[in-house]
Amino acid sequence: MLQIFYESQDFFLLKELEKLGPKKGVITQSVKDVVQSLVDDDLVSKDKIGTSVYFWSLPSCAGNQLRNVKRKLESDLQSSKTRYTELVDQCNELKKGREESDEREKALAELKDIELKHNELKEEMVQFADNDPAAFEAMKKAIEVAHGAANRWTDNIFTVRQWCSNNFPEAKEQLEHMYKEMFASRILKQIGITDDFDYLELSPPAIPLRAVGDGESNT
């Protein structure tokens, strides 16, 4: 397609290029895409004049484009060489003081031992997590919240039962039968609710701290 432009050094409409393309081995259906790709690569210029779109390309334009590409590649190459030199200098600088020696081997061995000891201490800290006073205090507060919520819902149930009894006294027997069936259901029994359920009393927490270590007991 570029040969068509270079040989004629003329301006073309797309339909004209579609006729000339097959003479250069480009099938008609591909001419539009090929020309557009050349436009995208700045190898072919395009402009709209009136209602028509014209395409053109001069050898000098292509030469300028190639020279620009060459300059950019040369600039990138120089930047890469400079960066490579900087990295080599940094690498050489980092090697200083890291030469292989008995003293270095000894220091590395000590570092490895310290890392192993550090990991052992971390594992031991996990064992002591259950004895953390902050965790224990949080557990106590959670129990208090759960206790309050349980009694609040218990109170709601009693309130609804009382309301039903006051407003439907003639259905007292039916209501009592319904309550018994409800509390006898398998679902409620699975979560620990039976027909004798009542308000919960919150006893002082009796959660012993678990001993950790060589038989020592933490209090």
pLDDT tens, residue by residue, 105-142: 888 889 999 999 999 888 887 777 667 777 778 888 88
- For 181, the 3-state DSSP assignment is helix
pTM for this predicted structure: 0.34
* Residue 190, token pair as written in the block: 């699975």
> How confident is the model at residue 213, as a pLDDT?
43
54-110 confidence digits (pLDDT tens): 998 887 777 777 788 888 899 999 999 999 999 999 888 887 777 777 787 888 889
Residue 1, number of CB atoms within 10 A of its CB: 22
Q: H helices within 21-58, ranges in order?
A: 28-40
Instruction: List pLDDT tens digits, range 142-199.
Output: 888 988 888 898 888 888 888 888 888 888 788 888 877 777 777 666 766 776 778 8
Per-residue pLDDT at 176:
80
- What's the per-residue H, E or C state across 92-153? HHHHCCCCCCHHHHHHHHHHHHHHHHHHHHHHHHHHHHHHCHHHHHHHHHHHHHHHHHHHHH
